[in-house]
Amino acid sequence: MARIVGISGSLTQPSRTKALVEEITASASQKLHAPAEIIDIAQIATVLGSTISYNNFPESLTQIYNKVQEADLLVIASPVYKASYTGLLKHFFDLLDPKVLVGKVAILAATGGSDQHALVVDYQLRTLASFFNVYTTPTAIYAKDTEFTDYKLTSESISKRVEVAVEQALFLLKQESPQSLVA
């Protein structure tokens, strides 16, 4: 059974980004008949921010990284902060062994206040995923604040985009990774 893990890079609670991750993981979960878990950076901000050594992980963080390593499908999402994804989301990935995500599939998403930074998801999150040799769906999702009401996604067009990205993820999950990537 496929394992689905969503990562929300927001530092606030409640969070639109987390709501978007919930929407994507719920759709994937339904289509794959598999459970989904969400890692909320806001909830682990203090322990994550104070961990700088690879060799000395607190147990709570080790458990979270194990979930990421065991996932088949990742949903990686962040609010745009100052024209980029959040610093703590970057720190989360900075602490991750570069080999452990190889060959996994990911759906990328971001939230933002304006149209100006919609390409953060393609120009920044996608390059991060590429560094880790993760297969990303061609459709990425960017949702503006106006597409949420009370921290719930209320945009039909974004929900449709979510469905398309999930279908693409299902397609990618069926493929067999080339041996060069597995080794």
Ligand X SMILES: Cc1cc2nc3c(=O)[nH]c(=O)nc-3n(C[C@H](O)[C@H](O)[C@H](O)COP(=O)(O)O)c2cc1C
* Residues within window 151-170 making contact with ligand X, judged by CB under 6 A: none
Q: With the C-alpha atoms ordered 113, 160, 41, 94, is the resulting torsion angle positive or negative?
A: negative
* Residues within window 94-153 making contact with ligand X, judged by CB under 6 A: 111-114, 116-117, 145
* Residues within window 66-85 making contact with ligand X, judged by CB under 6 A: 79-83
Of the pair 42, 96, the CB lying nearest ligand X is at 42
Q: Does 15 bind ligand X (CB under 6 A)?
A: yes
Q: What is the DSSP string of 37-93?
A: EEEEHHHHHHHHHT---TT---HHHHHHHHHHHH-SEEEEEEE-BTTBS-HHHHHHH
| Tokens 């980029």, located at residue | 84
CA dist., res. 87 & res. 78, Å (int): 10
Cβ 45 to ligand X, closest distance in Å? 12
Name which position in 12, 30, 130, 175 contacts ligand X (CB under 6 A).
Answer: 12
Q: Does 6 bind ligand X (CB under 6 A)?
A: no
Contact set with ligand X (CB under 6 A): 10, 12, 15-17, 79-83, 111-114, 116-117, 145
